[in-house]
Amino acid sequence: MFLKLIARFFAALNSNAKKEQIAAGIACGLLLGLVPAGNLLWIALFLLTFFFKIHYGMQMLAMALFKLLALPLAPLVDKLGWAVLNAPFLQPAFTSLADMPIAPLTRFNNTLVMGGLLVGIVLWVPAFFGFRSLVILYRKKLLPKLEQTKFYKAFMKLPGVAKLAGSVASISGMGKD
């Protein structure tokens, strides 16, 4: 399973998948990872991503990673959510929101939901551009250099690795043929 995930990760990086799609997948995974699941907001965000061409594999991987990362970050996110939800100037807006038909189902009044949403939204754009740059860096600089090293060539000849490389190639459809 883990090898398959790794394979999918490298397959995405080494495929013709658009770098923006990969970056958007990771950024959306970050957002979904930080917002607790089980409420209408998370479901709406998750369903929204289906309407856009983003890399779902990357999104799921990133979401799993950021869910793990969200646990140690929970106290900070909670404090941020608490501060925002109790901000005096926002009280009328939140009170109106609480009276709206569907809004309470989003659990916007939960500190982790509100904090996670804010952190996720704020980090989405930098995450997008950051990971986009990383993908470019990997594809243009890192991968060509790596492929020229003797270590890489020797490593690729190992029986298990050769099998993995085959899997990656089959998944990504890379033009190695």
**Binding positions for another protein, rule: CB under 8 A:** 14-19, 21, 36, 50-53, 71, 74-75, 78, 81-82, 85-86, 91, 94-95, 97-102, 104-105, 107, 109-113, 115, 139-140, 144, 173-177
H/E stretch holding 62: helix 56-85
Q: Give the residue from 82, 76, 40, 31 showing the smallest Cα distance to 58.
A: 31
Q: Which residue, 17 or 30, is less far from another protein as judged by CB?
A: 17
Neighbours of 19 (CB within 10 A): 17
Q: Which residue, 126 or 173, is less far from another protein as judged by CB?
A: 173
Q: How far apart are CA 92 and CA 114, in angstroms?
A: 16
CB of 164 to another protein, least distance (A): 19
Q: Which residue, 141 or 158, is less far from another protein as judged by CB?
A: 141
- Contact (Cβ atoms closer than 8 angstroms) between residue 41 and residue 76: no
Q: Which residue, 33 or 115, is less far from another protein as judged by CB?
A: 115
CB of 52 to another protein, least distance (A): 6
Residues 6+ apart with CB under 8 A from 164: 3, 6, 7
Q: Which residue, 52 or 158, is less far from another protein as judged by CB?
A: 52
CB of 79 to another protein, least distance (A): 9
Q: How far is CA 8 from CA 5, 12, 46, 62, 82, in A?
A: 5, 6, 20, 12, 38
CB of 98 to another protein, least distance (A): 4
CB of 115 to another protein, least distance (A): 8
